[in-house]
Chain A
Amino acid sequence: MSHPDDAALSEYAQGDLSGEGLRAIEGHLASCDACRGLVARLLQVLEPSRAHGPHKGLVVGRYVVLDAVGAGALGEVFSAHDSTLERTVALKWLYPSVGGVDRDTLRARLLAEARTLAKVQHPNVVAVHDVLAHEGADVIVMELVQRARSLRQLAETRGPWMTTVARFIAAARGLAAAHQAGVIHRDFKPDNVLLDGAGRVVVVDFGLARAADVVASPTSPASKRSALSGTPAYLAPERWQGRAADEASDQFSFCVALFECLAGRLPFAARELQERQAEVRAGPPSLASTGVSRRVEAALRRGLSFEPAARWPSMGGLADELELALSAPRRQQHRLLGVGVLLAAVGLFTLTASRSRARCDDADAPVRALWTKPRADAVRVALLGTRHPAAEALAPKVEAALTRYADALAEGRTRACRATAFEGDSDALLTLRHACTSRRASDFDALVKGLEAADGKTVERAVLAIESLPPAADCFEPASLTAVEPMPGGPARLAVEAVIPRVSAVRAMRQLGKVKDSVALAEAVTDEARRAGWRPLTSDVLLEWGAGLERLSRYDEARERLVEGLTLAVAASDARQGFAAAVALAYLDGVDRQKPEAGATWVTVGHALGEPAKVRGTAEAVRLGNVEAVMAMRAGKAADAATLLTALEAQLTSAGGLRTINGARLLTNLSAAQRESGRAAEGVATAKRSLELMESLLSPNHPDVASAVNNLGSALADLGRLDEAEPYFRRSIALREALFGPEALALATPHYNLGELALRRGDGKTALEEYGRSRALVEQARGPDEDDVWDSKMGEGLALGLLGRHAESLTLLEAVWPQLVARKLPAWNLAQAKLGLAASLRALGKEPARVAQLLREVLALEGPRHAEQRARAQALLTER
């Protein structure tokens, strides 16, 4: 035997050796007492070369090492602070040198797998963030699973078998995702599956296989090292024979682990190769005494088949089967549970309450991370940076609303965690609830991103956009969650999860007024969603796309998307989404396209889809009511509209949703309906409430407030309180001028209203000016061929008549007449036009028959609202 030279021993004693050199000297020291004695002495007098190993405070790239948290076969794990993203991560430090012939190969493979795993983003797979090299050592940066307990630890306090199976299903999904990416776990066992503080199941220690896996003994690894590694208990029979690990052997290990956690013992106990093989061939012992359903047991038996080919084709297949097995017996099981079990459950509750609460403390962490102080600051700075006049008043309201929503999401996660942790809700339900809040969180995140890049338009739409986020509380309701087509498992889930934030971006853009961007993105995202293949999500983005197209007045395209969205929602049993689609279609057909029959059909579809109890008081229900009301008003049934909207108001109030923009808009419509149905005084009161609500929710100088101010003026004018009305119109003009400048289209309406006011006061000159101003603004902004232009021209015509300029009046009124008739103007306005036309014709002595006809038509109008008009018609008739 040749002894290592002084240099080699000195290098070893300073920790400077690696690879082949290290293995050679270890082999020598294992048997040479003299050299080992020398090394022992050197250890007393030599300093270790450098502190190249990881230690507290060591800076590795952007990470600062904190504490050692554990060690695997090939490396140590440290917690570390990620100074860029301000989070705690785990650093897996691969030993620079590990003895054994093929360890270098193994290390190379581990690194390759880590890089692959980094691409696998799956909630049930520990996240790999990065792979770094630090002074010759390889470092894998991973998610630090917080407050974790392994399924091994959890199995010791045996819970209901269904809970165990549900957790393993989640682990199976994670394993399936890794397999799909080409990563084999190699060491699956209950110790390597963690349940974190938030109730998430995470599979860890991928690829941390032992050297024995690579240098697989051709004969019997069991006789050599079984006692040391402990893992052979989970090894598939083919691996005992030296075959490499693959998906099928992972599946076998998975089934051993699940069997163990269900039965409290391993399915196979033999330690010798021959015996073990015979045992596996004979199959696992029965689980009958454990109460586990036969279907679960059958699924396990198949996974524990001796022949790999006889097992499930994939982990995903096994997970699907377990899921089905779990959903099948559940109801039966519940029916069997008697009072005794309930009492026992209560006792358990008391015992474990404090511990379980603590366990759910972190459940809301993912949401909390989305809404932090720096982010709130960023939003505020962005809003103020727009220099929008309303920004200063709105910024705190936006922040408060975002905080409320984030709180609701966080509360939802904690509540879901607790419900499963000790109120007996299943893990499957927890997964659904978390998936739902994750989608909400994605919407929230996208909206905050939009606000962080705010412009003036964003400022105005911010409060409504936050209000329009889907309610966080929905995510707790089991019935609506379980009914919907489940998100696919396996690799398909990854695709779905990748599309979710994209859909959120589409939604946020539209909500914040970037409609064109939203529509442009929606097209691409719809394709992505189709490929991902989860219909509720495809339906979601189609509805967004349709809504965007509707806002751009591209009605035909909008309709196409909405109909497809509705179809998909119904196919996927997503009633909520289907309801939203029907509402959007009702609005599109009934209001935008003015096709009341089609609109009414969609309203019926909506009512059929939205079970009244569930949609009562929701934003969509209000929207549907609004659509119905608008259509009723168009059909001249203002009283019906008022009744409908009053009922909706009551619903919204009892659901706590009246103090919202949505609620204020409902009041606006109610006010209009009340006025239209002759209840002008109520109309004024309602308009006042709407204005007050808008002012408190938004800022005094918000555009929506300017509208509400204008509406209150109109209500007062309707009531004949012209002097009270005028200041409101003027205030509306002032607000809009400040917001949009003196040439803005938004000024057209209050100017028009001032024209009306003047006309009713008999002030033809002012009326002519105000109508003219209104018309000019519309023409300038949108061209001459616009309804609002016709309306103003009609006003100008009437004003000219008042001023005695009958020829000019007649020319104008005749010019707009066909447009007015074609447009199905409200009866009152049309009557005004008829009166004006009749008066001018009469003054010029033209077409007496037509004059008589026009006046008779006005006289035929019923109701108190037309009393004044009837009187005027009568007067014109009798003047004769």
Chain B
Amino acid sequence: MSATRPELEVLAAKARATFGFSCDVGLLEAWVREVTSAEPARLDPGVALACALFHRQPEALACFEERVVPRVRAALQKLGAAAPAVDEHVQGMRTRLLADDHGARLRHYRGVGAFEAFVITTAVRALTDAHRGPMRDADDEALAKLPAAVDLERQLARTGQRHLFATAFRASLAALEPRERALLKLNLVDGASIDALAPLYQVSRATVARWLSSARQALQQGTLARLSKDTRLEGDDLHGLMASLESGFDVSLRRFVEEAAGPDE
């Protein structure tokens, strides 16, 4: 969807109201056409700031320092980075965003959400990378090596079928929808609260809680179904297994998901 001239005028006016200046409307037109396909009316005025920064307008650079950088610093501090690290990552962010390749990364900002948020993301990524080393793909195979949960493990160990739990669990986890897996892990492994997750989907916390609980239930039932099919347990043993699974599942779930998602050991 290409923006009309009046839409661009409105966007520029919004930018002037927010930042005190705007990118020239002619430049803005080309910029918007290049960076975004979002609905013009919903574009954040930050897109004009990005445009002005790309074109090295002095007031834009000043605005960046006065308005954006302090928020980046605050975010990094909140995440526990020490002062020297904050300075380092802010500088790294400046370089990546404004200097490298003549500010080409500014084009990644599509005018959806706040420009500051985009800049913070760039900085937080730098911080995260520094802590964790290079990004890697997740390895769910780690699950296979994990010890089983408390009672369950004992039940299965007695019959020498301990490994079956991990297998069943992994299969059930894989059977979840991507959203359910993502949310479950964000919540249980990364500690994102329900309150933090709700805005991602523009839903109430109750809804996120319900999604999580239904994902957890699906995981539990799926694991149970697979186990009852795969194990050679019968009679009391099977009942015991089911009972322990149902009662202790939430405890073990957290451990399993966490461990399944944790770093290699």
Contact = CB atoms under 8 A, between A and B. Distances in A.
A27 interface: yes
A102 to B, nearest CB: 13
A747 B22 CA distance: 86
B232 interface: no
A14 B117 contact: yes
A36 B185 contact: yes
Interface residues on B, range: 35 or more
Contacts of B222: 227-228
Interface string A443-460: 000000000000000000
Contacts of B214: 228
Contact of A52 (B125, B202, B210, B261): B202
A36 B186 contact: yes
A576 B185 CA distance: 70
Contacts of B201: 15, 95, 97
A42 B176 CA distance: 24
A228 B135 contact: no
A264 interface: no
Interface in A213-257: 223-225, 227-228
B191 A30 contact: no
A49 B199 CA distance: 8
Interface stretch (B4-12, B105-113, B236-244): B105-113
B144 interface: no
Contacts of B190: 36-37, 39-40
B120 interface: yes
B17 interface: no
A39 B201 CA distance: 14
B206 interface: yes
B221 A49 contact: no
B113 A49 contact: yes
Contact of A227 (B140, B186, B197, B225): B225
A6 B125 contact: yes
Contacts of A39: 186, 190, 192
Contacts of A99: 177-179
A30 B181 contact: yes
Nearest to A40: B190
Contacts of B137: 1, 31-32
A42 B181 CA distance: 19
**Residue with the greatest number of chain B CB neighbours at <10 A, chosen from A12, A35, A47, A228:** A228
Given A44-B196, A45-B75, A227-B217, A36 B182 contact: yes
A53 B202 contact: yes
Contacts of A53: 198-199, 202-204
B138 interface: yes
Nearest to A223: B225
Interface in A17-63: 17, 23, 26-27, 29-49, 52-55
B132 to A, nearest CB: 7
A71 interface: yes
Contact of A45 (B78, B108, B206, B224): B78
B94 to A, nearest CB: 14
Interface string B115-152: 00110111011011000100111101000000000000
Interface string B222-265: 10110000000000000000000000000000000000010100
Given A41-B124, A52-B202, A11 B75 contact: no
Contact of B207 (A14, A46, A71): A71
B175 interface: yes
A692 interface: no
Given A29-B186, A39-B186, A43-B197, A10 B203 contact: no
A17 to B, nearest CB: 8
B125 A38 contact: yes
A48 B208 CA distance: 15
B218 interface: yes
Contacts of B225: 223, 227, 271
A71 B125 contact: no
Contact of A100 (B110, B113, B177, B218): B177
Given A42-B124, A46-B117, A6 B182 contact: no
Interface in A81-110: 95-97, 99-100
B113 A10 contact: yes
A137 B210 CA distance: 20
Interface string A186-218: 000000000000000000000000000000000
B125 A95 contact: no
Interface in A115-153: 136-137
Interface residues of A, number: 58
Contacts of B176: 30
A9 B222 CA distance: 31
B69 interface: no
A7 interface: yes
B43 to A, nearest CB: 11
B114 to A, nearest CB: 7
B1 interface: no
Given A6-B108, A11-B113, A16-B113, A38 B124 contact: yes
B72 to A, nearest CB: 9
A13 interface: yes
B220 to A, nearest CB: 8
A811 to B, nearest CB: 94
Contact of A31 (B138, B200, B203, B224): B138
Contacts of A46: 75, 117, 120-121
B79 interface: yes
A40 B113 contact: no
Given A6-B121, A6-B122, A43-B197, A95 B113 contact: no
B107 to A, nearest CB: 9
A824 B216 CA distance: 95
Contacts of A378: none
A68 interface: yes
B132 A26 contact: no
B121 A42 contact: yes
A149 to B, nearest CB: 21
B23 to A, nearest CB: 18
A614 interface: no
A15 B203 CA distance: 10
Nearest to B176: A30
A95 B211 CA distance: 13
Nearest to B190: A40
Contact of A13 (B108, B121, B224): B121
A294 interface: no
A620 B183 CA distance: 71
Contacts of B210: 71
B125 A26 contact: no
A811 B190 CA distance: 117
B175 A224 contact: yes
**Residue with the greatest number of chain B CB neighbours at <10 A, chosen from A10, A34, A76:** A10
A264 B113 CA distance: 52
A785 interface: no
A34 B113 contact: no
Nearest to B109: A7
A862 interface: no
Nearest to B184: A30
10 contacts: A5-B108, A7-B108, A7-B118, A31-B137, A42-B120, A42-B124, A45-B75, A71-B210, A99-B179, A271-B225
Given A6-B118, A48-B199, 9 more contacts: A7-B109, A15-B201, A15-B202, A26-B182, A36-B190, A40-B192, A43-B186, A53-B198, A225-B175
Nearest 10 CB-CB pairings of A with B? A227-B221, A48-B199, A40-B190, A228-B218, A45-B75, A30-B181, A53-B202, A10-B121, A29-B182, A30-B178
Interface of B: 42, 74-75, 78-79, 105, 108-110, 112-114, 117-118, 120-122, 124-125, 127-128, 132, 135-138, 140, 175-179, 181-182, 185-186, 189-192, 196-204, 206-207, 210, 214, 217-218, 221-222, 224-225, 261, 263
Interface of A: 1, 3, 5-7, 9-17, 23, 26-27, 29-49, 52-55, 68, 71, 76, 95-97, 99-100, 136-137, 223-225, 227-228, 271
